[in-house]
Amino acid sequence: MYADDARWLVSTVLWKTASGQVDEQNYVYLAYRILRRVMNGTTCTAVIQSLIEGEGLMRSNYRVGVHCYGYQLSHRFLGDDWKQVRLIDPRLINRIKREEMRIEKQQAKRRRPIHRQLASIQE
């Protein structure tokens, strides 16, 4: 029922891994509050636990005040070919869009005149 949530989580881990947003052991840190904001809040924990128990993802230890849980694709899937699958759950699609807009607004608030000038030069 929540396959789109699981696909989104695995996809996020893959994209962050591919773009180098990992620690020394190749774990991608994802804050639970953000996961709950995007995935179904009531089943988020169950989806994550299912992926871990089904050996789709591995999770690092949580360290209070240091970092949140880290995730990485399980070793048995590292050599697999990728396949793009479209999301079909409109709730999840809307939550992803809302989270992207929230992040854009947050980044826009931090921008200074020099950032806007650099952006115009790059365009």
Convert the pLDDT of each residue in 12-57 to its tens digit: 998 898 899 999 899 999 988 889 989 988 889 999 999 999 988 9
Give per-residue burial for 77-111: e unless 16+ CB within 10 Å, then b: eeeeeeeeeeeebeebeebbeeeeeeeeeeeeeee
| High-pLDDT (> 70) share of the chain, % | 99
- At 58 the pLDDT is 93
Q: Is the pLDDT of residue 109 over 80?
A: yes
Rounded mean pLDDT, 50-76: 88
